[in-house]
């Protein structure tokens, strides 16, 4: 039963991390940036990935 519990915890942690890593709104912990700032941040992230 311990192995199953560890797998569950691992899956939960993976899901949470993917949520933070995949966040493109620039918000954290439920706080979002205004739309204009979201667009700027999104463009900046895209530019950084292309380098």
Predicted confidence (pLDDT) per residue in 16-51, tens digit: 776 666 666 555 544 566 778 778 878 888 888 886
d(CA 45, CA 48): 5
pLDDT of 30 reads 45
Ramachandran angles phi, psi of 28, nearest 5°: -145, 135
Q: Point out which residues pair with 28 in neighbouring strands.
A: 31
Instruction: Name the pTM for this structure.
Output: 0.39
């Amino acid at each position: 039963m311990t192995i199953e519990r560890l797998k569950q915890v691992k899956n939960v942690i993976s899901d949470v991390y993917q949520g933070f890593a995949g966040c493109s709104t620039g918000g954290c912990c439920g706080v979002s940036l205004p739309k204009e700032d979201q667009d700027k941040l999104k463009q900046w992230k895209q530019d950084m990935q292309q380098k």
